[in-house]
Amino acid sequence: MTVAASPAAPARPRKPRPSRVLIAGLVAVAAITAWAAWEVDFTLGPLLENFSNGWVVVEQFLHPNWSYLGNAWTAWLETISIAIVASFFGVAVGLVFAYMASRVTNRSTPLYRAVKWFLAVLRSLPDVAYVLIFVALVGVGSLAGILALFIFNIGIAAKLTAETIDAVDPGPLEAADASGAGTFSRARWAVQPQILPNFLSYALYIFELNIRSSVVIGYAGGGGIGQLIQVQFARFNFENVSAIVISMFVVVLLIDQLSQYLRRRLV
Amino acid sequence: MSTASTASETRTVRPEEPGKARATIGAIVLVILVVAGGYLSNADWGKLPDIFTEGGRYFSLMLKGLVQNPFSEPYSEYWSAALGGMLESISMAWIGTMIGAVLSIPMGFLAARNVSHPVVVQVTRVILNAIRTLPELVFAIILLLPIFGFGPNAGALALGVGAVGTLGKLTAEALEGIDPGPVEAARASGAPGSAILRWTYWSQVLPEVLAFWLYRFEINIRASAILGIIGAGGIGSVLSQAFRYREWDFIGILLFVIIVVTVLVDAVSGAVRHRIIAGSGVSDAKVEQDAATL
């Protein structure tokens, strides 16, 4: 508008047209969204229609049964124990796989490929699938939860640590090579001191993750607090579920704070 | 070692090794924790050998399901149930990501210190943290099942609510990390607030935020399987059914489909993410690192 008023000013450059890739991308996203919405029968209608149903539950939730927490704390102890054992062994084994999944420490290409491939498969299954598998193998209980989280943790720990190993300072590696170090002493003395703070911080992060996934673990039969939620939910004791959920809030926050404090001291 | 130290007398003394007391104490505490954990978890460790005795048998049963002719009964049904469940899971994950993405934009702006009032920032952050604390499963149980009933719709909504927490936080962090130059320029030229948000803040974070959305989509695919065990549909429901009846050949097919499809989607989504991030001025590694907390 103003350009026309003052002819001396240079003409405003033409607005670039949106690229074809962008348009194609947006159309694809819209199409996928429409199809997915149809596939899951997406609707918000029940929010209005069944709101009273939900409100009954919400009301029970607003009156948590605090006395139930007395029963909950043994389950919490179980969940935290499961998480400690599973993350300890998970990250320990994960570290070994991490060394094999980085070009820096693994100079054998076939082994490197095989380990990368194996870890991708390991990570692609959700934790609940592992719980179901181990419940079938060793029966319902904490052991199934520990084993499932153990396998699950190997995948995460190995991926995160391998990426850190990829990025280490090559100086110590060259020094180790120059002094004729073998694969193991090279990994132990040139790489491990560099990655140790990050590795420990990943271990704490994985421990946090394990606490968070305790609901899922217990629901599928792996013991701990999730099992308690499942039982109480099946009996429609929403006041008890509410108390457990609030305790979960507190526990997760406390553990996050503790782990953040420890991590800050490490890195 | 000994030859080096005796050969040159004039060398400076080797510095003393730093103390190992802290590391030792840490290791001892850790071992105590693990042993106590192993005991207090009430795990029936005696059943551990079952993995090896039973495991091999079940694994061969699973493989048996995979190598059967997929066009013969009942394997054709198994395969179509597996693929149908996986498609439903992907749809749930996609819708959940979309809901999370749309809601996380305003939440992200409200939670960014360089955009909103400090009080608003604090309130929004508390909400986002609260959402991040609870797993999707809890949302599904508490809020959605009583209203939406069992089914993929409730699952998709639960994934959406869960995604808001992480996506909102990451969007806010991305907004806080922008280059303030364009903002000042727009302000100096008298741009209205909405234009500043759209053309300086949003333009700068868009690639990063898109990458986070894709990352969240990958995570939601795994999470949708989890929601399946409470009857929210998708491959998780099919899987827990199959486990209930111990149909190991079916389980083998289901796990195979989950692994292959997840790896494929991760590869495609990862390629798109790298393409979006390339040339945006943000390093790939930084996005990966931030997204690791999703």
Cα separation of B243 and B113, whole Å?
A: 48
Nearest CA among A213, A226, A156 for reference residue B135: A213
For A146, nearest residue in chain B (alpha carbons):
B43
CB contact under 8 A, B263 and A40: no
Chain A nearest C-alpha distance from B146 (Å): 5
pLDDT of A137 > 70? The answer is yes
Residue A194 CA: distances (Å) to CA of A90, A107, A108, A155, A200: 21, 19, 22, 21, 12
**CATH class, range B74-291:** mainly alpha
Which residues of chain A from 190 to 209 reach within 8 Å of chain B, CB to CB?
205
Q: How far is A166 from chain B (nearest CA, A)?
A: 12
At residue A145, the pLDDT reads: 94
A126 interface with B at CB cutoff 8 Å: yes
DSSP for chain B, written as a single string: -HHHHHH-TTSPPPPPPPP-HHHHHHHHHHHHHHHHHHHHTT--GGGTTHHHHHHHHHHHHHHHHHHS-TTSTTHHHHHHHHHHHHHHHHHHHHHHHHHHHHHHHHHHHHT-TTTS-HHHHHHHHHHHHHHHHS-HHHHIIIIIHHHH-SSHHHHHHHHHHHHHHHHHHHHHHHHHTS-SHHHHHHHHTT--HHHHIIIIIIHHHHHHHHHHHHHHHHHHHHHHHHHHTTT--HHHHHHHHHHHTT-HHHHHHHHHHHHHHHHHHHHHHHHHHHHHHTTSSS-HHHHHHHHTT-
pLDDT one digit per residue (tens) for chain B, 294 residues:
445 545 556 678 888 888 888 889 989 999 999 999 999 888 888 888 888 888 888 888 888 888 887 788 788 889 999 999 999 999 999 999 999 999 999 999 999 999 999 999 999 999 998 888 888 888 887 777 778 888 888 899 999 999 999 999 999 999 998 999 999 999 999 999 899 999 999 999 999 999 999 999 999 998 888 888 888 888 999 999 999 898 899 999 999 999 999 999 989 998 988 888 886 666 666 776 666 655
Taking the CA of residue B70 and the nearest CA in chain A, the distance in Å comes to 22
B38 contacts on A by Cβ (under 8 Å): 81, 85
Q: Is the ipTM of this complex over 0.90?
A: no
Which residues of chain B make contact with A135, given a CB cutoff of 8 A? Answer: 243
Pair of tokens at residue A20:
């074809």
Residues 6+ away with beta carbon under 8 Å from A218: A75, A79, A145, A224, A225, A226, A227, A228, A229, A230
- DSSP designation for A112: H
Mind telling me how many Å the CA of A154 is from chain B's nearest CA? 15
How far apart, in whole angstroms, are the C-alpha atoms of residue A161 and residue A92?
Answer: 11
Cis peptide before B146 (omega within 30 of 0): no
Mutate: best of B98, B147, B221, B238, partner A, most A CBs <10 A: B147
Q: What's the pTM?
A: 0.85
Shortest Cα–Cα distance, B21 to chain A (Å): 16
CATH of domain A65-266: 1.10.3720.10
**What was the pLDDT predicted at B101?**
95
Q: What is the pLDDT of residue B1?
A: 47
**B269-B273-B276-B277 Cα dihedral, nearest 10 degrees:** 180
Backbone angles phi, psi at B22, to 5 degrees: -65, -45
Q: What residue segments make up the domains of chain A, in order of their start?
A: 65-266
Q: Which tens digit of pLDDT belongs to each residue from A208-249?
A: 989 988 888 998 888 889 888 888 888 888 888 888 888 888
Chain B residues inside the 8 Å CB shell of A35: 91
Partner residue facing A219 (CB), from B88, B230, B292: B230
Query: Which of A35, A39, A215 is facing B137, going by the closest CB pair?
Result: A215
> Residues 134..173 of B with a Cβ closer than 8 Å to A: which?
134-135, 137-138, 141-143, 146-149, 151-153, 155-156
Listed by start position, the domains of chain B span 74-291
Nearest CB among A138, A139, A245 relative to B138 is that of A245
Cα B41 to Cα A142: distance, rounded to the nearest angstrom: 6
| Best A40, A232, A256 residue to mutate vs chain B (most B CBs within 10 Å) | A40
Calculate how close chain B gets to A248, using CA atoms only, in Å: 8
**Mean per-residue pLDDT, A43-50:** 80
